[in-house]
Amino acid sequence: MELDGEERDELQGALTSAFASVEQLRRMVAATCRRDLESLGVSGGLRERVLTLIHRAEAEGWLRELIRGAYQALPRHPRLQRFVQGYLASVQRSIPRVGLERIFGSGRADAERERWRKRLTAIERQVCRVEPEVGAALGTGFLVSPNVVLTNYHVIENRLLESLRVRFGRKVLQDGTLLHPGTVYRVTRCLARSPYSPADLMHPRPRDATAGELDYAFLEVVGTPGEDLVDGAPRGWLELPDSRESFTPGSLVLIVQHPAGQPMSVALDEFLGVNPGRTRVAYRACTGPGSSGAPCFTKELRLAALHHSGGPRIPSASAGHNEGIPIDTIRGSLSGSVLSQLGWG
């Protein structure tokens, strides 16, 4: 994914610090990117050349090659190492270039792209893994108030609440390198829950799920992770909107997930439609068992659904799609007392 303004400034500073002369920069670009600095039209002083090089790499689609090449040339340079690890661990990097082109098209202004990136960065901080005290991750969840996480009921089914944890901010590179273990919060109680439908386990499905079969669990945790500071700002949370999404077939869906407990990533594909009772919305997306409980968004990053496919039901590959629970349906099912406890009353 393209850089935001802060990342661009930091990369310029890291490259200027790591390659202290034009000749060093030229040799690195030639050796790792197989490109000639002068033929790229890069001229001026070192800082000007570095910035022009970054812009050129972004425009032509080889920015990641440049960043990896610089890191390979000087893997122990502290500032370069810090930038590269943060860049590669960002969930935004999991969105392929073709996916970004589908999201932004050709008409989005730079300022609008910047707002979208910052919104995704904020969402990344609000999504967590749901884990047992000991053992592999169970699923994904996300903050919906300062101290409440929403996930699927089937993720915590038959588990002692006292044994559950949620983990925010775990940073892992694709090669398995752990950059940060994240911050863990203990689950104390379940404010509200709704079971999945027995029909979710059947293929073909004999009936639609009812309004009492929404497969959700609102978990209260110790502390207030939503108010904790992350990079100098409160983590925040995703309050469930009561407005209805149309789920137009062919419109884009983004799922921010921890598939199989792996590094956080974004699955990008298309909505297929919503059932008449608005208890299930179908979409295509590449998810895994640990994705259950992940938030689903429109391409404008409006919260739209709670992902639940890949849990108790028949594997999505057999049905050709995944599915979630529309957010407005979940909110509409909550009692006034629960809404008040969540701060939405």
Q: E strands, the chain, where? A: 127-132, 139-145, 148-151, 164-168, 171-172, 178-180, 183-194, 216-221, 229-230, 233-234, 252-257, 265-274, 281-283, 295-298, 303-307, 322-326
Residue 289: per-residue pLDDT: 80
Question: Could you tell me how many helices (H) and strands (E) the chain has, helices first?
Answer: 11, 16
Average pLDDT over residues 21-29: 93
* pLDDT single digits (tens) 143-156: 999 999 999 999 99
* pLDDT single digits (tens) 273-313: 999 999 999 998 878 788 999 999 999 999 999 999 743 44
Amino acid at 237: W
* pLDDT single digits (tens) 55-72: 999 888 899 899 989 988
pLDDT band, very low/low/confident/very high, at 231 (cuts 50, 70, 90):
confident
* pLDDT single digits (tens) 113-133: 888 988 999 999 999 999 999
The whole-chain average pLDDT of the chain stands at 89
φ, ψ dihedrals at 19, nearest 5°: -115, 90
Rounded Cα distance between 345 and 343, Å, is 6
**45: Cβ–Cβ under 8 A, 6 or more apart, which residues?**
none
Residue 339 pLDDT more than 90?
A: yes
Residue 316: per-residue pLDDT: 42
For the entire predicted model, the pTM comes to 0.86
Token digits for 20? 């202290």
As a whole-number percent, the residues of the chain with pLDDT over 90 amount to 62
